Amino acid sequence: MELSFSKKNLLKAELNSQPTNKIYLSSPHMSEEGYELNYVKEAFHTNWLSPLGPNVDEFEKAVALKIGTKSATALSSGTASIHMALKAAGVEKGDIVFCPSLTFSATANPIIYQNAIPVFIDSDMETWNMCPLALEEAFRKYPNVKAVLVVHLYGLSANLDRIMEICDKYKVSLIEDAAESLGTLYKGKHTGTFGDFGIFSFNGNKIITTSGGGMLVSNNEERITKVKFWSTQSKDPARFYQHSELGFNYRMSNVVAGIGRGQLKVLDQRVQQKKYIFGYYTRELAGLDGIEFMPINEWNEPNYWLSCITLNGKVKPLDLIEALEKENIEARHVWKPMHLQPFYKNYDYVGNNVSERLFKKGICLPSDTKMTDKDLGRVVDTIKRLWRK
């Protein structure tokens, strides 16, 4: 049924009242110099459009050089990279893997792919990441653990010294999920390079993107070579297609690797932009009652992937998210812990519900590197109006 004239005008007025440009949480940001397009054009001009190729090789070398690791392999996603890291660490059916509860499901799901058993570990307030005390408690409860999977949430590094000390004590492999922390330094060294394996994500919302993709890095070159074999369908070196092991179709395309090569050139610039955004928020919002910012420790140089806060006053996270939505501004809750997810509810959890409290009180503010000061002002003004109500 056609709308009446008055209803049409009302709808038009409502649409016109909305801000025209949406402010995103974190969206892709191609370089102003056009680095990415040049590499993609090269892939088209040379007809390297399939998985593997010069862009893949050079992207792997560039990432390894940038972060200071011996070897890297470009894969189809960060999730695939975690899966291959677990397999490379020898995780098999029935093995126990310790995993932070406060993370995205992509961290935990590959444990299930390997038919292993996740045990979820609580966070601490000092880092928002895996709590060393809870990790120690979990080892006392489960001494026969195959691997520890640690996350550097929102670009904040975990307490790596303490966690590595515990893993060394129990002689357990450490895998770093650095999907959100490319460019983050822990005591001057890149996250993702401390454990036996490190993984990065180049999903569209990450600090640099290939539209979709990931990278597995390690100083164990033999294991990376094996992962490259597994991730290209485990094709034996024969004249015909022969497969002696289970394979996976996980290798990165030469086209998207070209985007990654270009994006890597502006990584440091993106980190500085993210840092500026966080500084803007801390300066403008620090005086509002009940707001606390994510912890920045003296030993941690984050990439500030997302600027996150917790609310401890009258304004609740959903109030703020909905107020921003009305202004066409995207914000989100902090990750819902894995031990609270319906799929994982029957798996064990060790801790004191710090992760649950962070979820209930936490918000990720818009942290898009394309934001102008005008955009940031719009976000801050919306938040301040909510406090004045």
Residues with active-site annotation? 206
Q: Are 249 and 233 within 8 A, CB to CB?
A: yes
At 302, give phi and psi (nearest 5°). -70, 165
Tell me the C-alpha to C-alpha distance, in Å, between residue 106 and each of 1, 177, 239: 45, 10, 37
Residue partners of 302: CB distance under 8 A and separation at least 6: 154, 155, 156, 157, 181, 184, 275, 296
